[in-house]
């Protein structure tokens, strides 16, 4: 009887000490929940920043049309002289590397 009690007492001490060496499954779950909440918070911040940028773009409205490029005075004089010689605007545009609209605006500017 004494041996049985000593054996049971020895086994209980071994089991008690081994319980301190085992990993607690709750710690792993808590860590994963904490990582998940941090990731969700970071994603939420990213989304808020994107929304803010989009709202700012909407507030700005459509961009203003880009101003026409300035036409060099030499090219302008060349277009005028070719027009006075009777050259059609399409030909003037191909000679001066300007669009037909640019050539017509220069011609209308002298009229």
Q: Are 82 and 106 members of one domain? A: yes
Rounded distance between C-alpha atoms, residue 64 and residue 66, angstroms: 6
- How many domains does one find in the chain? 2
In a domain, 104, yes or no: yes
Q: Are 77 and 104 members of one domain? A: yes
Q: Which of 106, 86, 109 is nearest to 98 (CA)?
A: 106
In a domain, 5, yes or no: no
Q: Are 57 and 77 members of one domain? A: no
In a domain, 83, yes or no: yes
pTM: 0.38
What is the domain range of residue 30? 24-61
Q: Are 57 and 83 members of one domain? A: no
pLDDT tens column, 28-66: 899 999 999 999 999 999 999 999 999 988 888 765 555
Rounded to 5°, the CA angle 15-28-39 comes to 175
Please tell me which of 5-9, 56-60, 64-68, 73-77 the model is most confident about, judged by mean pLDDT: 5-9
């Amino acid at each position: 009887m004494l041996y049985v009690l000593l054996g049971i007492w020895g086994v209980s001490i071994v089991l008690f000490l081994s319980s301190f060496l085992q990993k607690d499954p709750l710690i792993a779950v808590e860590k994963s929940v904490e990582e998940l909440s941090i990731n969700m918070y970071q994603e939420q911040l990213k989304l808020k920043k994107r929304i803010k940028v989009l709202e700012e773009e909407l507030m700005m409205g459509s961009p203003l049309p880009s101003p026409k490029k300035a036409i060099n005075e030499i090219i302008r004089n060349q277009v005028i002289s070719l027009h006075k010689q009777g050259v059609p605007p399409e030909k003037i545009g191909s000679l001066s590397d300007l669009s037909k609209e640019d050539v017509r605006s220069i011609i209308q500017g002298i009229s």
